[in-house]
Structure 1
Amino acid sequence: MTQPPGQQPWPAPTGQLVLNLESTWGSRSMITPQLRINGQSAPVRWGHNEIPVFPGRLDVEITCTYLWEYGRARDTVPVNPDSRVEVYYSSPYFTFLSGRIGPVPQPHRGKLALWLLLIGLAIVVVLVIIGAIAGS
């Protein structure tokens, strides 16, 4: 049995999920974001994504993929009929950390650890240079 022309077999989605996916600096080209809505994969990219969805409570899960999956963040997002819901995701600086998801822009996890690591490396480099100068 076929549908008459112009009719859809199911009603069209009437809600919209707006995802703002933010990566850490330098990783945008190497890392791919993955989205699952109620367990079903949906294509997304870094930046602004508008996804038509059916109204209801959506289980939104976002991960990043490099050599393995990391940065997992999950939230339940209520979407009313004929409405837009904005969600923000930020990936972590380190692959052993989870990402963050919420209704407002999210800070990246691991920023303090990254700064401490960079400062530690800078101190080691300065000490090596001082040691080389003092040894001459």
Structure 2
Amino acid sequence: MRTTFLITTVVTLSALAAVDAQAANSVSVLQFGATNLSSTTQTGPVNNTATTLQFGAFNQASSVQLGSLFSVNSVTIGQGGTTATATNTAAAGQVGGANTSLIGQIGLNNAAGVSQLGILNGSTILQQAP
């Protein structure tokens, strides 16, 4: 009886140790103010998602995502200028299997850049001056 119980316990613990949980990373930033600065970095083998929304006279956001060839990375940055001379700056860098980015900016001075390294990459940048 004891031998059977011991073997069963060892097999069960071995099975539990073999399970490798893969968690996803998610970050959301919402900023209201005259000057808004945001920088996010995510490293994960599965899914990385970052969303940044900024409303102010000076908005600056950057997001970096580093994943594996099997990861899905997604960046969304929205910037709304609250003055007639608003400045918006956004940058996204992504490494992974599938990378998507969306940057939307409304302001007098808008600048955006995206860098992607992966199997499937897609990006959209929308800019509007008042």
TM-score (norm 2): 0.25
**Normalised by the size of structure 1, how large is the TM-score?**
0.25
